[in-house]
């Protein structure tokens, strides 16, 4: 091989080296921090995390290749500590997987890292977002339902049992969601000819006594709001 050909060949090879090196570079790993307010051995929690991981995989994000998921399973005593640990790891995004306790803890720990929440009843009332249309800040996500659905529960109760003229509404008076849902029921009640009565759900004994007293009257129905998912029964 003559000198000119050797220089030409090496020059061509040298030009190809950056391309080959670039092709061999590992794609930057993205990090997601997931905070869950249930025990680590909870079957439903594990199923949700598995579904989340599977959905990301379908979008091209796979653990061990271009994604790392840091999951923390918290309780009332350590949720803030776990939130701080996840933020300290500097993830690309945080997931508040189980409602208000996880959102509140993550927002206390950071106002810059994006937070996506789930299972939050009233993110506006809780102060997590400025509005549904324009959340603002670093948090956004999914609500369990809109308050207008609470009025639909009464409408459906009336449709199933047209004779109902009284409805007891079980709600949590300590939460904004409990107050908001009861308010939505109150708005539609006059048009349906139904008198609504709130029943606070502070403890089992209080619920039992209030429902028993309400059931003594005629044409009654019951709406269960809040964490019970809006189920209802007529009596």
pLDDT the model gives residue 83: 98
**pLDDT, average across residues 197-204:** 85
Residue 234 CB neighbours (<10 A)? 15
Nearest in space to 184 (alpha carbons), one of 220, 127, 143, 225: 225
Mean pLDDT of 138-165: 90
Please identify, in words, the CATH class of the domain defined by 148-234. alpha beta
CATH 3.40.50.2300 boundaries in the chain:
30-143, 148-234
- The answer to whether 107 and 63 have CB atoms below 8 angstroms apart is no
- What pLDDT sits at residue 12? 41
**Choice between 214 and 180, residue whose per-residue pLDDT is larger:** 214
Q: Per residue in 60-73, pLDDT tens?
A: 999 989 999 999 99
Matching residue, tokens 């869950």: 36
- pLDDT-derived band at 17, boundaries 50, 70, 90: very low
pLDDT at 16 over 80: no
Selected residue with higher pLDDT from 88 and 131: 88
Q: What is the pLDDT of residues 97-135, one digit of tens each?
A: 998 999 999 999 999 999 999 988 788 888 999 988 899
- CA–CA gap between residue 199 and residue 182 (Å, rounded): 10
Let me know if domain 30-143 sits in CATH 3.40.50.2300: yes
Phi-psi region at 230: left, alpha or beta (left = phi > 0; alpha = psi -120 to 50) = left
């Amino acid at each position: 091989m003559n000198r000119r050909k050797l220089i030409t060949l090496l020059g061509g090879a040298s030009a190809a080296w950056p391309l080959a090196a670039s092709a061999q570079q590992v794609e930057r790993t993205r990090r997601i921090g997931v905070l869950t307010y249930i025990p680590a051995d909870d079957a439903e929690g594990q199923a949700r995390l598995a579904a989340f991981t599977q959905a990301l995989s379908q979008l091209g994000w796979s653990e061990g290749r271009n994604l790392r998921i840091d999951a923390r399973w918290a309780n009332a005593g350590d949720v803030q500590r776990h939130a701080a640990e996840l933020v300290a790891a500097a993830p690309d995004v945080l997931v508040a997987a189980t409602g208000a306790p996880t959102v509140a803890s993550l927002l206390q720990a950071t106002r810059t890292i994006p937070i996506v929440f789930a299972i939050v009843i009233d993110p506006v009332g809780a102060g997590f977002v400025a509005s549904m249309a324009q959340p603002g800040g670093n948090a956004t996500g999914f609500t369990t339902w809109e308050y207008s659905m609470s009025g639909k529960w009464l409408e459906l109760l009336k449709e199933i049992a047209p004779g109902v003229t009284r409805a007891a509404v079980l709600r949590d008076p300590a939460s904004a969601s409990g107050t908001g849902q009861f308010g939505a029921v109150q708005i539609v009640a006059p048009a349906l000819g139904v008198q609504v009565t709130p029943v606070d759900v502070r403890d089992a004994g209080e619920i039992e006594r209030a429902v028993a007293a309400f059931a003594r009257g005629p044409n009654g129905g019951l709406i269960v709001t809040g964490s019970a998912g809006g189920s209802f029964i007529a009596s």
